[in-house]
Amino acid sequence: MMTHQLLAPLSGLSSDLLSALPTFSSIFYVGLAAFFSLWAMRRFSSHPRNLPYPPGPPSKSFILGNAADLSDSKLWFPMVNWASIYGPIMYFRSLNKHIIVLNTEEDATELLEKRSSIFSDRSYFPLIDLVGWTFSTPFKHYGSEWQRHRRFLQQMFRAGALVQYRGVQIEKVNDMMHSIYEAPEDFMTHVKTYSTAIVMSAMYGYKVSPKDDYFTQLAEDAMVVLSVSSYPGASIVNILPFLRYLPSWFPGAGFHRTAKVGLNTVTRMQDVPYKYVQDNMAAGTALPSFVSENIENCKTEDDHKLLKAIAATGYAGGADTTTASIIAFIHAMAEFPEVQRKAQEEIDRVIGHDKLVTFEDEASLPYIHAICREVFRWRPVTPLGNFHASIAEDVYKGYYIPKGTTIIPNIWAMSRNSEKYKDPERFDPDRFFTESGELNKDDVNYTFGFGRRICPGRHMAFATVWLAIASTLSAFDIRPSKDASGKNDPLKVEYSGGMISHPLPFECSIAPRSERMKQLLIDLNNNRM
């Protein structure tokens, strides 16, 4: 199923919450509203410690609180505006759900890392359950099963283990470079193939086809399902969780029907590549991979279920997020040509003009490293991070945090901290250098999350993005497209909403930097034939 076909039935998942509220005209909803009105009055009028909640936007409804605000799929924008009014720690309510937003690294580090024993659970959104994404590590509740997931992923993607993936990363980046040379207008497809090919090789020993690959499309479709399901206002059921228990024919419960479409896609995304490995192992043709190396240790159905879930977590999540970052880099180079020129000057000075970049060059290319950091800061892939939840009540800076509170680390606000980042909307890698010309200590690690729920594949992601950026800059010039008169077309790039923010399709010019580089790109294809 192609992504645009998938989005049509899923469009109901991300419809404006306000348009769904008229279904409350039935007697059933009126009765529920009255019940929750009395219940909320008792629950939120006081609490045992008699301490204040953090400041926040005024409630728009006595019953629903700020639920209507949560319908925005790009919630990080209004949240940044709220932060300018209410400060770095904000509180609001959606029906019976307490929500606290952390707008600074310092507060997020204090709660989500230093107090991780309290703040490492996941926030509950029923739609994620209904579309089947609770198999995945980020959406597991804090406990023994989640810990098993994390151990596997940390072992596989720890910094010291990355050398085993360098061969496939080099192979796939060379494929991407030649594909961009042959069809630069399809650069987004080529980047997607590169990111997916690395993860699919590592997880399943599968070689991705350059075009129209089934597994690549399946991962993209599954991530679309996740992105339109996992923000608070994605559906009325995320605001009113009790609605999940209504039958699909009941007024206002149409989300059940649309969620089935997503569930089918997400289930196939887990099952199909896993069966691919099983079939190849039976035939004696399986290539080394995470699944093939661990499947023989599976003694029970639960063991297979665990292995399948961990592999699918890396397969879908790893490919999708790195793709978004690399395409954001291409956007930045087209919009900020002075950065591109400076990066290419460094590459030419260190590497020369007769070869492409490899990992051995990384330490000698600090400006390329700074560009990677700036990509993650300038366009964080998950602008609101991974939602956490508290398993016990707590007090922080004199504010009361109830048990079960959803904690949102506002990565977008952190990346727009004007005290730390001058002119934060500008793409400026120089912000990561000290006055003496060395890289500073700001590794933008906050863009990968916090505490026990930090992305376990962050080292792999950085290496994959670094290689793509360095290779692309060494080989190509990236510029805005030109109109019929030869003038640059205005470059206006939009980004999607939802949990994961992608650059939407845009046009630019990508061409080899020289005739010598053109020949190197042609040779890449000859060498792989």
H/E run at residue 217: helix 214-227
In terms of Cβ atoms closer than 10 Å to its own Cβ (0-12, 13-18, 19+), residue 314 is buried
Cα 372 from Cα 443, distance rounded (Å): 10
Residue 455 marked as a ligand binder: yes
CB of 218 closer than 8 Å to CB of 2? no
Cα 156 from Cα 266, distance rounded (Å): 23
| Dihedral pair phi/psi, residue 95, rounded to 5° | 55, -115
Cα 410 from Cα 423, distance rounded (Å): 19
Rounded to a whole number of angstroms, the CA Rg of the chain reads 24
Cα 143 from Cα 136, distance rounded (Å): 14
Cα 202 from Cα 207, distance rounded (Å): 10
H/E run at residue 394: strand 394-396
Which residues fall within 8 angstroms of residue 234, CB to CB, at 6 or more apart? 13, 14, 73, 125, 127, 228, 498
The residue assigned the tokens 């997931």 is: 149
Cα 463 from Cα 444, distance rounded (Å): 14
* 276 alpha carbon, distance to own chain's centre: 26
Sign of CA dihedral 52, 54, 59, 63: negative
CB of 119 closer than 8 Å to CB of 127? no
Long-range contacts of 195-199 (CB under 8 A, 24+ apart): 195/318, 195/319, 195/320, 195/322, 195/323, 195/326, 195/464, 196/319, 196/323, 197/168, 197/172, 198/165, 198/168, 198/169, 198/172, 198/318, 198/319, 198/464, 199/314, 199/315, 199/318, 199/319
Q: What's the angle, vertex CA 501, arms to CA 497 and CA 504, rounded to 5?
A: 85
Cα 189 from Cα 2, distance rounded (Å): 13
| Dihedral pair phi/psi, residue 271, rounded to 5° | -80, -45
CA distances from 217 to 165, 326, 330 (A): 23, 18, 22
Cα 414 from Cα 420, distance rounded (Å): 9
Cα 153 from Cα 509, distance rounded (Å): 38
Q: Which residues are annotated binding-site positions?
A: 455
Q: Which residues are annotated binding-site positions for heme?
A: 455
